[in-house]
Chain A
Amino acid sequence: MSLISLNSGPRRGTVHAVRFLGLPRPLTGPSKLRKGMPRPMKILAALLALLAIFSAGNQVLGQSTTDRIAVLTDYHGYFPCNDCHGDQETVHQPRVLEEEHFEPIEWEDDEGVTHLVPLGQRISIAELLGQTDRRDIRSENLTRIGQRIGIEAYMEANGLAAEDSVWTLLHGGGNLWCLNCHNADDRDRLVKLNGELLTFNQSQLLCGECHGPKLLDWERGIHGKTTGYWDGARDVDEISERRLCVECHSPHAPAFPAMEPLAGPILRLDPPGSEHRNHQPSAADPNTH
């Protein structure tokens, strides 16, 4: 006769009958010795928590991105963009860029190589508000909600209508602005979170701050487009190419737009117009239905 069943242990809050001297015994259940923390202790813990929150609170709760950056980079109370863009709203909730930030810019790096960096895009507000995840099938809807709230606030603040258009920074779901990456004092440099400056041909280190696993993959050659030679030893003309992040992903609107694929397979030798066994209805071919 087994004393205790080993196959199923006692569960919380239930009482199992145990064949021990033939008597049922409660094995679990709330102990009568302790009912949790005593009341004075609970009050003290609550007070300590409040103290912690409000003393360090400026760094955690309720602070706008601007103020946080001001604290980190000593720009407190000073928005450097206003030096040139005096007409700019200093509400940074919507990451909306004005005026000249659209045409792709050319810049020359230290080796004299010219790069073309595509910037954000001009988009009608109506489209921005109604935008679905078509452009980035991997993003959560949350980023769109964040942008939506920001855009609506901006529209109200500036008397804009849905048919007006704006320049946008479609990166980070409304959580980023210019100075997250750019250095306002020296616009030939990018700035990391710890204040370190980077040149534009080290930009992958900046992207890697948020996209760490992707950076690791890129460094191994697993991510990103590579052309040329698999056998580096035979690449005497050194034409094999790796690409920096920004050469494929626009830093201000990184999501790839959807595109039309090239033509699909036509596997049967039937003349056009005849029934196909494996056809799908398509707008391109009027003979299908």
Chain B
Amino acid sequence: MSKQIRFNDGEVSRRGFVKLLSAVTAGAIAAPTTAEAFNLDAFMQKHFDELKPADLERTLRRLEKEYNQKYDRDDFRLNAALPKESVRFAYALNLSKCIGCRQCVHACVEENNQHRGDPERGDQVEYIRVVEMEKGSLDLEKGNHDYDHQVPAEGKYYMPVQCHHCDSAPCTKACPVEATWQEPDGIVVVDYNWCIGCRYCAAACPYWARRFNWVEPRIPDEDLVTDNHYLGNRPRYKGVMEKCTFCINRVRQGRNPACHDICPTGSRKFGNLLDPDSVIRKIIATKRIFVLKEEVGTDPRFYYFFD
């Protein structure tokens, strides 16, 4: 075969190229259609915003079936709860109270069906990163997320960082296919079936908030959460982006995110910016809040304050 494609000096002839091309194309068409069941519905699924209610319903049921098959379960329930009217979420974090215990990090992993890697190494996809900072400085370059000593340590304070759900998010602008956008209630979401895995959004995010599935996610059966939102904590695929969704499944039912409820010191506060009686509004009114990397102009909805 190689003799017919190449000239003696190694160059590929036109005839050889066409032969190669047709062989490769045939293989490419044959492989997915024969190797696994080719799902026309999945292939033809439209962008989430273009799905009519009936299509959306069908899509959710199809995905439930796929997940049940993949994980050998029968209790997956997907919903695509709409944002509530007059709701705009924001998060506030009291840096004087955070002790850096990382309970939020692990609660998030348990709630959101994240990839647990090698069980011995304990590596897993974590949306939240707690950075140990020097007291008296906001220099993130001196921050350390690898600390492994008793907390809180002398002279340090702790700053958890996760997706800030920015109002002017660079990630949503960077996405070439609009697989990520900001919902009306302020949550920046990713449609895992639309994402092409180019990772431009991760490059655009100034807070390193986005995670990519480099490998097929591995979720032990006992850790599977089967009550999922389409844009939130349903299991992801290899090759798609994911990130904190403010626990969209929980907050659209009126509940707090997992990281908020697990925090032992109550340093995390969550609420509706448009409700003047909410805690978040009271914090904005009484505390000196700041945001990270304000100069970049992302307008985050994650406020930090010292008490």
Contacts and interface: CB of A to CB of B under 8 A. Distances in A.
A111 interface: no
A122 B106 CA distance: 33
B36 interface: no
Nearest to A137: B152
Contacts, number: 120
A279 B121 CA distance: 14
B204 interface: no
Contact of B282 (A220, A224, A266, A283): A220
A261 interface: yes
A282 B148 contact: yes
Interface stretch (A9-17, A36-44, A60-68, A226-234): A226-234
Interface string B142-172: 0011111011111000000000000000000
A222 B145 CA distance: 26
Contacts of B121: 266, 272
B147 A261 contact: yes
Interface in A225-278: 225-231, 233-235, 243, 248, 256, 258-267, 269, 272, 278
Interface residues of A, number: 41
A280 B146 contact: yes
Contacts of B266: 223-226, 243, 248
Contacts of A248: 265-266
A71 B178 CA distance: 74
A222 B282 contact: yes
B263 interface: yes
A265 B145 contact: yes
A221 interface: yes
Given A227-B256, A229-B255, A258 B152 contact: yes
Contacts of B129: 265
Contacts of A133: 154
A260 B150 contact: yes
Given A229-B256, A230-B272, A235-B254, A264 B146 contact: yes
Interface string B33-46: 00000000000000
A265 B126 contact: yes
Contacts of A264: 102, 145-148
B106 A262 contact: yes
Nearest to B285: A220
B266, B270, B283 — which one has the most chain A CB atoms within 10 A of its CB?
B266
B4 interface: no
B120 interface: yes
A266 B105 CA distance: 13
A137, A220, A222 — which one has the most chain B CB atoms within 10 A of its CB?
A222
Contacts of A222: 94, 269, 279, 282-283, 286-287
A261 B102 contact: yes
A284 interface: yes
B283 A266 contact: no
Given A222-B279, A222-B286, A222-B287, A262 B102 contact: yes
Nearest to B129: A265
B144 A280 contact: yes
A147 B153 CA distance: 23
Given A258-B151, A259-B150, A284-B148, A228 B256 contact: yes
Nearest to A270: B121
B264 interface: yes
Contacts of B287: 222
Nearest to B257: A230
Nearest to A283: B148
A267 B145 CA distance: 11
B214 interface: yes
A217 interface: yes
A272 B122 CA distance: 11
B152, B269, B279 — which one has the most chain A CB atoms within 10 A of its CB?
B152
Interface in A119-134: 133-134
Given A229-B255, A230-B256, A261 B101 contact: yes
A231 B148 contact: no
Contacts of A233: 254
B251 A230 contact: yes
A222 to B, nearest CB: 6
Interface in B262-288: 263-266, 269-272, 278-279, 282-283, 286-287
B179 to A, nearest CB: 24
A242 to B, nearest CB: 9
Interface string B102-145: 11011000000000010011111010011000000000000011
Give the 4 A-B CB pairs with smallest separation, nearest first.
Answer: A234-B254, A225-B266, A231-B254, A266-B123
Interface of A: 133-134, 137, 217, 220-231, 233-235, 243, 248, 256, 258-267, 269, 272, 278-280, 282-285
15 contacts: A225-B266, A230-B270, A230-B271, A231-B254, A231-B272, A235-B254, A248-B265, A258-B153, A262-B106, A265-B126, A265-B129, A269-B123, A280-B146, A280-B147, A282-B148
